[in-house]
Structure 1
Amino acid sequence: MELIARATALVGGTVAFVRRLGSPSHQAFGAAPEIPAARKQGIMTLKMPAAEGWKDGHLPTCAPGLAVNAFASGLDHPRWIEVLPNGDVLVAESKEQAGPPKTLMDHAAQATMRRVKAIGTSANRVTLWRDADGDGTAEIREVFVENQNQPFGMALVGNRFYLGNTDGIKMFTYAPGDTALSGDGETLVEFKPHGHWTRSLIVSPDGTKIYAGVGSLTNIADQGMEVEQGRAAIWELDVATGQARIFASGLRNAVGMAWEPETGKLWTVVNERDGLGDETPPDYLTSVAEGGFYGWPYCYWGQTVDDRVPQDPEMVAKAITPDFALGGHTASLGLCWMPDGTLPGFGAGMVIGQHGSWNRSKLSGYKLIFVPFEKGAPSGPARDILSGFLSEDEKLAYGRPVGVTVGPDGKSLLMADDVGDIIWRVSAAR
């Protein structure tokens, strides 16, 4: 495997260098992005920095007026965060457990992902962290639940705790102050595992519904649409009845979700398809309409047809154009609504953890960004909150942003870093 990793890095670096010479000079960002014409890659661009981590006091770079500190450290690939009403912080520790590679491309992709610790043995647990003295650093760590199947999303409704494993949603009984769950939990909904494996969860404002992001198995339905049934969608679970249905579809890999409070709309960030160029198509932030279809796999950014896919003109005709482009292959995963007054110098808007992707000749993402909102919609260009996760020569990843949420104090953000194995806390500089 090490030999394959080295060979992949060498070949991938050469391909990326050649493609970089003709890469776009701008990012596809904003409500009206300039999206370059598709350039089929044939051999996929495979470029991934090696996992370095944070050493010798090295920290992410903050926007002016902000400070960052490690809220929790020593985790095993932390991906998602949930803050309980009593201020306890839950962290899902898990990673992709890759199946046997079937093709040379599979071998190359897995070797590349291992370099940045993206696949391997999963911790399969949720840990609880408590900052008892309120100094911004957790002193207490407990195992909240373990022996799960790639746990990710979490949600609490009353005394019922919901956990999004890759193969479905489980429910456990919870009482305020509990530091561990008991029992095996009850499976409420089953999902197909593998592929885009994360299962993010969010509760509706009235507490009656839970929404779950379920990504596609493949890039562009490479194995046919039958295996994609129930995937590339956001599901809705009725808390009272236990009935579940697809709420919106055509979303290749919808991960983070958030409620915009002025309009009450659900928003999500979506990772788009690979193999068409550095900026084509862009990942995106969008509101989600009930019954809405967003194009995958037939088309992207509205009705731009992907001619690698057997077409369905009726589906293309009803594809909804997303609201805000986030750059090509930035792997925008984390999402939360940040109210006005949370951080100095930033108003109300969406905060997005850009994990950084591999299908580019010039890497992008690797940031925590902010998109301002007014009247229920994006109102200006994105701004960096945290950066510096990638070395200047793009060879090393000190960290990779994933899940993000407002901290228990309402005056900070917590962000999971699955390469640094840290939960970062961002607050006002003192």
Structure 2
Amino acid sequence: MATGGALFLFSREQATVPIEQGYGPDPILPEPNPTLIPTVNIATAAQWPEGSMPIAASGFAVNEFAGGLDHPRWLHVLPNGDVLVAESDAPPKPDQGFSLRGWVMDLFERQAGAKVPSANRISPLRDQDGDGVAEITQPFLTGLNSPFGMTLLDGKLYVANADAIVAFPYQEGATEITAAAEKIVDLPAGRNHHWTKDVIASRDGAKLYATVGSNSNVGENGMDEEVNRAAVHEIDLATRQMRLFASGLRNPNGLSWNPVTGELWVVVNERDELGSDLVPDYMTSVRDGGFYGWPYSYFGQHVDERVEPQKPELVAKAIKPDYALGPHTASLGLAFNQGDLFGAAFKNGAFVGQHGSWNRKPRSGYKVIFLPFTAGKPSGPPQDVLAGFLSPDDKAYGRPVGVVVDRKGALLVADDVGNKIWRVVPAR
């Protein structure tokens, strides 16, 4: 393909294992198949045609909850039923000189609908008349720095910016906050290879937990750049002290409390450029002090030979994730369903937003799935809930990111390419 006078050659490598076999507690993990030219297969971003929307699976119905947003990434439901949406994209990268790989990846990320100027705001969505459509959408918080995760605790709204967790006073029903930010802790930033930071409060309200993604694919920028990254951190609110809670998690997001076991769970984007069949993204419980392999190994003790020097002592104790979510699906959103709207089969299971692949042929993700849980553990194959984000000519009308269950039990899905929030309920 020729672009801007430059010629790009693409790998012909493609998947040999059916995508379904890349899911579950014991996914198929074939031998790595790295190629000199990485597999690039991004769906070009396109607008939803007038009146069109994603396709709900049998037994579900979907409608547009809110539109006209600016790269909506993450959602948070407030006690009064209002829904906060973080409209955000990556912060500007510091000048680090030219690299061919970086230039190519920036080009294709723009093709995929990313690399837009960040709106840097949070907006409230309010469905006043209960018809499943938000009537109020207006700026709620502005002047943020690539905001993502949000959590409300004891009259304060905590926001995870790309470089810090900040807090604002919140009054129920407010549609705007004008108070200055209170910095809680700084978070590792810099190259911003993975800029999204999620945050959640502990059940007792004494602590926050925050995610920080890696600064690279597999440490190619040097492990000095990865200090306190690829990790979940614990923040003590009384002392403002932060400690490493779990590590070896390449790009964790979607922090959620398992409603049955009380464990902290997260979804993780795994590494790229080992071929279309590797490595599966995953969801897992997060243990205090646990190490999950990145960059030295994946899915337990499968060593990534690209990483030098290796650390066999770390690989030996790498925890195998609970459940694989398919290679390159870019699973980002995670929400446990505690409501009754979808019926008993969906109680305490998990909805997952899969943003969609760039490094796989054929493409994977670009949908929302449901995973049933029994006794606090995944207990069955994934079920498609919302698909149809790819057009008949293989463009991306949308890409799902954050997922939440609202106060009425409906599923809300942030679509950062379509600039909409979709609402999914059982079909009548």
- TM (normalized to structure 2)? 0.95
Match of 1:360 in 2: 360
Match of 1:52 in 2: 46
Match of 2:315 in 1: 316
Matched, 1:341 2:340: yes
Equivalent residues of 2:405, 2:412 under 8 A apart: yes
Equivalent residues of 2:91, 2:145 under 8 A apart: no
The letter for the 2-side match of 1:138 is A
How many Å separate the matches in 2 of 1:75 and 1:128? 11
The letter for the 2-side match of 1:318 is K
Match of 1:407 in 2: 406
How many Å separate the matches in 2 of 1:32 and 1:392? 33
Matched, 1:145 2:146: no
How many Å separate the matches in 2 of 1:80 and 1:139? 19
The letter for the 1-side match of 2:358 is W
Match of 1:419 in 2: 417
Distance change >3 Å, CA 121–CA 62, structure 1 → 2: same
Q: Is the partner of 1:235 in helix, strand or coil?
A: strand
Q: Is the partner of 1:279 in helix, strand or coil?
A: coil
Match of 2:279 in 1: 281
Residues 183-209 of structure 1: CA deviation (Å, up to 9, x unaligned):
221111112221100001111222222
CA shift at 1:256, angstroms?
Answer: 0.8
How many Å separate the matches in 1 of 2:339 and 2:159? 29
Structure 1 window deviating more from structure 2 (152-161 vs 346-355): it is 346-355
Gaps (5+ residues) in structure 2? none
Distance change >3 Å, CA 6–CA 69, structure 1 → 2: farther
Residues 342-383 of structure 1: CA deviation (Å, up to 9, x unaligned):
324634301100000201121000010001000110000000
The letter for the 1-side match of 2:17 is P
Equivalent residues of 1:171, 1:186 under 8 A apart: yes
Q: Is the partner of 1:397 in helix, strand or coil?
A: coil
Q: Is the partner of 1:343 in helix, strand or coil?
A: coil
The letter for the 2-side match of 1:239 is L
Match of 1:379 in 2: 379
Structure 1 window deviating more from structure 2 (177-186 vs 122-131): it is 177-186
The letter for the 2-side match of 1:288 is V
For residue 125 of structure 1, the aligned residue among 121, 127, 142 is: 121
Match of 1:82 in 2: 76
How many Å separate the matches in 2 of 1:391 and 1:277? 25
Equivalent residues of 1:5, 1:111 under 8 A apart: no
Equivalent residues of 2:272, 2:359 under 8 A apart: yes
Structure 1 window deviating more from structure 2 (248-257 vs 331-340): it is 331-340
How many Å separate the matches in 2 of 1:314 and 1:5? 48
Match of 2:230 in 1: 232
Match of 2:263 in 1: 265
Equivalent residues of 1:284, 1:327 under 8 A apart: yes
Distance change >3 Å, CA 6–CA 154, structure 1 → 2: farther
- TM (normalized to structure 1)? 0.94
Equivalent residues of 1:270, 1:332 under 8 A apart: yes
CA shift at 1:23, angstroms?
Answer: 3.2
How many Å separate the matches in 2 of 1:379 and 1:276? 29
Match of 2:201 in 1: 203
Equivalent residues of 1:46, 1:109 under 8 A apart: no
The letter for the 2-side match of 1:375 is A
How many Å separate the matches in 1 of 2:5 and 2:177? 40
The letter for the 2-side match of 1:124 is N
How many Å separate the matches in 1 of 2:351 and 2:7? 37
The letter for the 1-side match of 2:18 is S
RMSD: 1.6
How many Å separate the matches in 1 of 2:55 and 2:34? 35
Q: How does 1:17-32 map to 2 (within 5 A)?
A: 18-20=12-14, 23-26=16-19, 27-32=21-26
CA shift at 1:142, angstroms?
Answer: 2.2
The letter for the 2-side match of 1:158 is D
Gaps (5+ residues) in structure 1? none
The letter for the 1-side match of 2:22 is A
How many Å separate the matches in 2 of 1:209 and 1:184? 22
The letter for the 1-side match of 2:119 is A
CA shift at 1:218, angstroms?
Answer: 0.4
Distance change >3 Å, CA 372–CA 4, structure 1 → 2: farther
How many Å separate the matches in 1 of 2:54 and 2:6? 28
How many Å separate the matches in 1 of 2:320 and 2:420? 36
Match of 1:297 in 2: 295
How many Å separate the matches in 2 of 1:357 and 1:166? 23
Equivalent residues of 2:266, 2:334 under 8 A apart: yes
How many Å separate the matches in 2 of 1:132 and 1:421? 21
Q: Is the partner of 2:314 in helix, strand or coil?
A: helix
Match of 2:427 in 1: 429
How many Å separate the matches in 2 of 1:174 and 1:5? 52
Matched, 1:41 2:35: yes
CA shift at 1:6, angstroms?
Answer: 8.1
How many Å separate the matches in 2 of 1:418 and 1:363? 18
Percent identical pairs in the alignment equals: 50
Match of 2:397 in 1: 398
Equivalent residues of 1:98, 1:120 under 8 A apart: no
